[in-house]
């Protein structure tokens, strides 16, 4: 089973490093020259690609693999897929991004299924930072695929001594867990940046998790999926570590600091998409709604906190 990773960013390169230690793999990058020249990614300093990793800028060559891992920002996935004219029939297509497409209001595996209905979509998600994976630090992820045989094969082929995959058939739950936790991470960063303290952060994590579960179950996910790696596990990581770009963005909002506009913050667009979904479904998502408002400059962090504190009292 041949494997190709599409996307030479930090996460795609980190996966290539980890998987390349156990088997040959192809890494496609739009700008492959730096990787070809140095065998190191500028986003992962000091980490060298194994010799078993073939780097290429030839997309057609990479598309010949049996398994394709799409490692790119969520909001870029649909446009990237549009440019691929190959049918990809019978292949396993693994989304390695987290979010909800702003135009279709679908997760990444659903986007792949729309483009290639004769392929088998899957998603690789869970609590992880690219730098940790690339350095060989122990990491556990969720591999979600509705086809049991494909899920088993992907789990076997993509797991490494330091990268442990757990499989599930609940693709919807895995998608939404990975997407929604980014929104809650922004909220946690904003609370800490505003000086609200760790008790407030714990409250945001807990009530945010309730929102995540509420929406996911309404859309067909299993509640227990959200308690696993792709939900609660990822939520804890991104809400407590400054390695998380979403959390750092929230910190900047709370402190009133500028944030590098060149950095992709998936939770911003996801908050906007979730706000649309909440309106369509009638599901209450107050924290996600407030993140959308403060990210767009509609209200201040202090006003958002006051809104949440003034909501009617209720049972947990």
Catalytic residue set: 181
Q: Which helix (H) or strand (E) holds 293?
A: helix 286-295
Inter-residue contact 4 to 60 (CB < 8 Å): no
Question: How far apart, in whole angstroms, are the C-alpha atoms of residue 219 and residue 281?
Answer: 9
Inter-residue contact 165 to 142 (CB < 8 Å): yes
Alpha helices (H) in the chain, listed in sequence order: 10-20, 33-38, 59-62, 74-82, 108-115, 130-134, 148-158, 171-193, 198-218, 223-226, 234-240, 245-255, 266-281, 286-295, 301-309
Parallel, antiparallel, or unpaired: how do β-strands 139-144 and 120-125 relate?
antiparallel
- What phi and psi, each to the nearest 5 degrees, are found at residue 139? -140, 140
Look-up of token digits 């396993």: 92
Chain-centroid distance, C-alpha 264: 12
């Amino acid at each position: 089973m041949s494997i190709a990773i599409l996307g030479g960013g930090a996460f795609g390169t980190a996966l290539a490093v980890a998987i390349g230690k156990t088997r040959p793999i192809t890494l496609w990058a739009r700008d492959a020259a730096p990787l070809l020249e140095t065998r190191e990614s500028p986003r992962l300093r000091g980490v060298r690609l194994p010799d078993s990793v073939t780097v290429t800028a030839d997309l057609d060559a990479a598309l010949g693999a049996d398994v394709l891992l799409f490692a790119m920002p969520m909001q870029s996935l649909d446009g990237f897929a549009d440019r691929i004219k190959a049918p990809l029939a019978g292949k396993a297509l693994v989304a390695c991004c987290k979010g909800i497409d702003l135009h279709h209001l679908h997760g990444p595996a659903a986007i792949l299924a729309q483009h290639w209905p004769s392929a088998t979509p899957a998603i690789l998600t869970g609590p992880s930072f690219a730098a940790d994976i690339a350095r060989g630090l122990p990491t556990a992820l969720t591999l979600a695929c509705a086809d049991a045989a494909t899920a088993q094969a992907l789990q076997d082929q993509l797991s490494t001594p330091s990268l442990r995959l757990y499989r599930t058939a609940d693709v919807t739950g895995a998608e939404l867990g990975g997407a929604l936790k980014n929104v809650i991470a922004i909220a946690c960063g904003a609370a800490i940046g505003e000086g609200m303290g760790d008790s407030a952060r714990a409250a945001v994590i807990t009530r945010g998790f309730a929102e995540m579960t509420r929406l996911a179950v309404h859309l067909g996910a299993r509640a227990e999926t959200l308690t696993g790696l792709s939900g609660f596990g990822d939520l804890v990581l991104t809400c407590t570590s400054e390695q998380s770009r979403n959390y750092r963005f929230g910190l900047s909002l709370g402190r009133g600091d500028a944030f590098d506009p060149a950095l992709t913050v998936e939770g911003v667009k996801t908050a906007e998409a979730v706000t649309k979904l909440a309106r369509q479904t009638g599901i209450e998502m107050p924290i996600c709604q407030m993140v959308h408002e403060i990210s767009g400059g509609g209200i201040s962090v202090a006003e958002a906190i006051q809104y949440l504190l003034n909501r009617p009292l209720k049972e947990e």
